[in-house]
Amino acid sequence: MRGVSDDQAEIIAEQLSNNPEIAESLKALESNKEVKTLFEKIQKEIEEKKKAGTPEVYASMLVMKKYQSDIIKHREILEPVMRLMQK
């Protein structure tokens, strides 16, 4: 997984294995064009900031703050992802 440490990827894989409903929710998320476009923009902007010398964590925080209202707008469909990332 890009942007995720090996330990985080292992935890996420375990969560998906133990909770198949989360995997189904993620498939629905992937088919949502608006959300997919949002995440592509976020990823692109984070990469641009990193290339400009901004540390990854700070770049992520800046970009996520910029798109906070869009993320909140889609919070229901993003909830499974957020649950995975918190564990």
pLDDT of residue 7: 77
Q: Is the dihedral of CA 28, 44, 16, 74 positive or negative?
A: negative
pLDDT of residue 85: 64
Token pair for 42: 């976020």
pLDDT of residue 4: 62
Q: Is the dihedral of CA 5, 80, 78, 25 positive or negative?
A: positive
* Alpha carbon distance 74, 56 (integer Å): 24
pLDDT of residue 65: 94
Instruction: Say if pTM beats, i.e. exceeds, 0.75.
Output: no
pLDDT of residue 63: 95
pLDDT of residue 2: 57
pLDDT of residue 61: 92
Q: Within the chain, which residues score under 50 in pLDDT?
A: none
